[in-house]
Structure 1
Amino acid sequence: MDLRIFTEPQQGATYDTLLTVAKATEDLGFDAFFRSDHYLRMGSSDGLPGPTDAWITLAGLARETRRIRLGTLMTAGTFRLPGVLAIQVAQVDQMSGGRIELGLGAGWFEEEHKAYGIPFPKEKLGRLEEQLAIVTGLWATETGKTFDFHGKFYDLTDSPALPKPAQPKVPVLIGGHGATRTPRLAGQYADEFNMPFASVEDTERQFGRVRAAAEEAGRGAGALTYSNALVACVGKDDAEVARRAAAIGREVDELKANGLAGSPAEVVDKIGRYAAVGARRIYLQILDLDDLDHLELISSQVQAQLS
């Protein structure tokens, strides 16, 4: 079971904070550092000192880390044109020496679009489908040849399809709860399917839909890695769990029901239940980025039991 660290910087984090967490992620043996792609805080956080851009952040981290994978859960399809995104991701992959993964979603948070003057189209899943086709198509085009795409939302003519990523194929992640179109897109385009903030039962149902869609697409269910994203709140004892829950404005019982919370033994047991329905990777949503002791505890007491 791979454990990856997943951050939500729109809630309030500087680049230096993210760099500190990314370096801890690397030093403590976690598999990857991922971040959200949002420009506006959610909930009661004041969001200070303000948002950081996902791909600018990852470009910096690409030069300041050496081992860990880096990526997004999920890049908002509404933020960037697909040709521009393909260039950005390929360049950052080169900067990292081939450690980048692209999580790509339709975009959903209307308020952040209003706050920063970003168009928020009604038809987002259709755009996402074309974006997936374009980004993967540009990367797959043989050097020296051109790429064309003529869709409902995007039109590319005689693209040189450059630059190329360092990796032969940048892994593409698709995720979500949708019962029909999301599994179909994952079955066609994804290297990994991520089920965010869901119960074991809902995860099992959605994984089944994605497996069926991958089979229908002629790829086979085993072509994808299946993963979950879950908030983490781990403590050596009940008092430490309660302290960490309070620090992120959550209740312990709610976190235990909906996330990975409690003692290391409790968390290992719950991860095992996700593994039993097919999860091979867990993204640990870390909401208090100043609590590096939390990462150390998870590394030494949870990750050590899963390796």
Structure 2
Amino acid sequence: MDLRIFTEPQQGASYDTLLAVAKATEDLGFDAFFRSDHYLRMGSGDGLPGPTDAWITLAGLARETKRIRLGTLMTAATFRLPGVLAIQVAQVDAMSGGRVELGLGAGWFEEEHTAYGIPFPKEKFARLEEQLAIVTGLWETKTGDTFDFHGTYYDLTDSPALPKPAQEKIPVLIGGHGATRTPRLAARYADEFNIPFASIEDSERQFARVRAAAEEAGRGADSLTYSNALVVCVGKDDQEVARRAAAIGREPDELRANGLAGTPAEVVDKIGRYAGIGSERLYLQILDLSDLDHLELISAQVQSQLS
């Protein structure tokens, strides 16, 4: 089971804070540092010092880390034109020496679009499908050839399809709870399917849908990696769990029910149950980015039991 650190900087984090978490992620042996792609905080808190851009952040981290994978859960298709996104991600991949992964989603948070003057179209899923075709098509085009795409929402003619990523293939992540269109899209474009904040039972049902869609599309169901994103709150005892839960405005019992919370033994047991339904990778949502001791505890007493 791979463990990756997943952050939500729109809730309030500077680049320096994210750098500290990314360096701890690398030093403590976690597989990757991922971040959300949002421009407006959600729920309580002041969100200070303000939003950071996902791909600018990852470009900086690409130069300041050496081993960990870097990526987004999920870049919003509404934020960037697909040709521009392909260039940005390929450049960050080169800057990292080939360690980037792209999670791409339709976009859903209307308020952040309104706050920063970003169009919020009705046909988001259809646009996402065209974006996936364009981004992957640009990267797959042989050097010296050109790429054309004539869709409903985007039109590219004689694109040189440059630059190329450092990796032969940048892994593409698609995720969500949708029962029909999401599995179909994952089967066509994804290297990894991620379901966020879902129970073991719901995850098992969604993984089965994706596996069936992959088989129907003519690819092996095991050609995708299956993963979960879950909030994490680990403490050496109940008192420490309660303290960490309070720091993020949550209740321990609720976190135990809906995330990975409790003592290391409790969390290892629950991770085992996710592994039992086919989850191969967990994105641990860290909401208190100042608590690096939390990462040390997870590394020492959770991750160490999973190898």
After superposition, give the CA deviation of every residue in 1:189-229 in whole Å (9 maximum; x if it has no partner): 00000010000000000000000111111111011000000
Q: Does 1:228 align with 2:228?
A: yes
1:142 equivalent in structure 2: 142
Residue type at the aligned position of 2:159? S
Q: Within 5 Å, which residues of 2 pair with 1:1-307?
A: 1-307=1-307
- Superposed displacement of residue 68, structure 1: 0.1
SS in structure 1 opposite 2:228? strand
Q: In 1, distance between residues paired with 2:45 and 2:126? A: 33
Count of aligned pairs: 307
SS in structure 2 opposite 1:246? helix
Q: In 2, distance between residues paired with 1:59 and 1:219? A: 33
After superposition, give the CA deviation of every residue in 1:151-186 in whole Å (9 maximum; x if it has no partner): 001000000000000000000000000000000000
Q: In 2, distance between residues paired with 1:43 and 1:293? A: 25
Residue type at the aligned position of 1:42? M
Residue type at the aligned position of 1:47? G
Residue type at the aligned position of 1:48? L
SS in structure 1 opposite 2:204? helix
After superposition, give the CA deviation of every residue in 1:236-285 in whole Å (9 maximum; x if it has no partner): 00000000000000001110000000000000000011100000000000
- Give TM-score, length-normalised by structure 1: 1.00
Q: In 2, distance between residues paired with 1:192 and 1:121? A: 26
Residue type at the aligned position of 2:274? Y
Q: In 2, distance between residues paired with 1:214 and 1:220? A: 6
Runs of 4 or more consecutive aligned structure 1 residues displaced over 2 Å after TM superposition? none
- Give TM-score, length-normalised by structure 2: 1.00
Residue type at the aligned position of 1:257? A
RMSD between aligned residues: 0.3
SS in structure 1 opposite 2:249? coil
SS in structure 2 opposite 1:102? strand
SS in structure 1 opposite 2:158? strand
Residue type at the aligned position of 2:213? A
Residue type at the aligned position of 1:122? K
- Superposed displacement of residue 70, structure 1: 0.2
- Structure 1: gaps (5+ residues): none
Residue type at the aligned position of 2:91? Q
Q: In 1, distance between residues paired with 2:154 and 2:69? A: 30
Residue type at the aligned position of 1:196? P
Residue type at the aligned position of 1:256? R
- Superposed displacement of residue 291, structure 1: 0.2
